[in-house]
Amino acid sequence: MTTPPARRITAGMVLALGCLTAAALPTATAQGAPRLPLNAAKDNGRGCVMVWFDLGETLVHTAEDGSIRYMPGADKHLRALRARHIPVGLITNVPSSWGNTDAERAAELKKVIDKDWKDPRPFAWSDFGDRILTPRTEAERKPAPVLYERARATTPGCRLVYQAETNDEIQASSSLGYFSYLVGRPHWPAFMPVPLIAALEHLPRRS
């Protein structure tokens, strides 16, 4: 399946929107930026934007010895989104047997990650709040569309970004209207540039 051209992030878009936001958007400095509630969209007369991530090999890397650390640039990217007050969430595959609710499965996920975490910087769980969506059944595992649809339903009217390291997830999210970015490509930014993400907020709100 080919990524729809309207959703593909190109180098030209990065440059054009990056220049636009560098001139138009103020740079926030707050480190404790308030997060949007799970089902909220900004009521500011224009659109809003939210960034969803895969977790493994997108934000965190598991080494051969089993230790877990941030992927290169991940901590910096999250801090930059936090400074812009752009809310973030996780859409990640975990065993459905880990709990009966997203909250229960997320709690187990945190235990698994924290147990083998070796990065000197703690993982930014607080940035994600209750915005951690996981499969309720094995059939819901990505790249099935269910989790992307659930994420979209939590933020009506928002422009949604999804960042992951696998093409099948990028294609699945893109087909559902996400602005999708494949991380880890040579000669490309490690993550979608934050000025580009912020520029999406200035697009008209979706109905």
Domain CATH for 163: 3.40.50.1000
Rounded Cα distance between 42 and 56, Å, is: 29
pLDDT tens for each residue of the chain, 207 residues long: 443 333 444 445 544 444 433 333 333 322 333 333 443 444 444 569 999 999 999 999 999 999 999 999 999 999 999 999 999 999 999 999 999 999 999 999 999 999 999 999 999 999 999 999 999 999 999 999 999 999 999 988 899 999 999 999 999 999 999 999 999 999 999 999 999 999 998 876 655
Query: Are 89 and 198 spatial neighbours (Cβ–Cβ below 8 Å)?
Result: no
> Is the C-alpha dihedral spanning 185, 163, 165, 123 positive or negative?
positive
Say if 52 falls within a structural domain. yes
Say if 112 falls within a structural domain. yes
What's the total number of domains in the chain?
Answer: 1
Rounded Cα distance between 156 and 190, Å, is: 28
What is the reported pTM?
Answer: 0.80
> Residue 91: which domain range?
47-200
Rounded Cα distance between 99 and 130, Å, is: 15
Rounded Cα distance between 87 and 34, Å, is: 8
Say if 28 falls within a structural domain. no
Say if 2 falls within a structural domain. no
